[in-house]
Amino acid sequence: MTASEFINRIQKSNDDFSMAHSMMPWYRKLVKPSAQTLKKANKAAVLVHVFQGQQDLEILYMKRPAYEGTHGGQVSFPGGKRETVDADFEHTAIREAEEEVGLKSSMFQIVKEMSPLYIPPSNFLVYPFVSFAEQKHDLILETKEVAYTFSVPLNMILTGELVDSVKVPTKMGKMKVPAYVWEEEMIWGATAIITARLAALLS
């Protein structure tokens, strides 16, 4: 897929929650948050960053350092909690991306705002924004927030060849969940759901 095809498809498409549903852990499917729950939930935004790699388009991911919190040691997108300085959720995603991995707004363009996703374990309502860059940029990591970054060829996400089932630690003990498995990395939970929604936008 070329860069122009990517931008054209994603801007003309609507979210397909049915595809994302397949990447949702079974216990998550039982949670139906009320309007009141969504209103009171913590708010955050993430940047789903796609860039032109050496051969194909790639998606940027980052690995959180291991810590006691809900998402410690997990793969995620750059992003975080909305602050009072943020004019809107897009600003939150851009600010957090710069703080965590050194991606400045001048390096990319926002091409799509996706519908928010509720994350029950941390009680966050997350607003994903898809960005695109014509090249891979050197990143500067905030080591307290990011252990390292890696990227996955977009085409391998679209074909579904990375989809698998893995056992991961959760608050309820080790659970088997759907995931994208790339080399030694396991992309599951909210990050996998958002990834599947990106794939659906491009299908």
Q: Which CATH number do you get for residue 121?
A: 3.90.79.10
Distance from C-alpha of 181 to C-alpha of 18, rounded to nearest angstrom = 21
- Categorize the per-residue pLDDT at 56 as very low, low, confident or very high, splitting at 50, 70 and 90: very high
User: Is 56:153 a contact under the CB 8 Å cutoff?
Assistant: yes
Tokens (6 digits) for 7: 């931008």
Residue 179 lies inside a defined structural domain of this protein: no
pLDDT at 184 over 60: yes
pLDDT at 88 over 90: yes
What values do phi and psi take at 73, rounded to 5?
75, 5
Residue 48 lies inside a defined structural domain of this protein: yes
Q: Which of 12-21, 92-101, 159-168 has the lowest mean pLDDT?
A: 12-21
pLDDT at 69 over 60: no
pLDDT at 170 over 70: yes
The whole-chain average pLDDT of the chain stands at 90
Predicted pLDDT of residue 72: 65
- Categorize the per-residue pLDDT at 19 as very low, low, confident or very high, splitting at 50, 70 and 90: low
Q: How many domains does the chain have?
A: 1
Helices (H), 106-166: 154-159
Residue 170 lies inside a defined structural domain of this protein: no
- pLDDT tens, residue by residue, 110-152: 999 999 999 888 889 999 999 999 999 999 999 998 999 999 9
Residue 126 lies inside a defined structural domain of this protein: yes
Tokens (6 digits) for 113: 């705002």
Residue 26 lies inside a defined structural domain of this protein: yes
Predicted pLDDT of residue 54: 87
Distance from C-alpha of 59 to C-alpha of 115, rounded to nearest angstrom = 19
User: Whole domain around residue 24: which residue ranges?
Assistant: 3-159+189-202
Q: What is the DSSP annotation of 45-59?
A: EEEEEEEE-SSSEEE
Residue with tokens 């809900």: 70
> Once rounded to an integer, what is the mean pLDDT over residues 149-156?
96
DSSP symbol at 14: -
List the beta bridge partners of residue 80: 45
Residue 93 lies inside a defined structural domain of this protein: yes
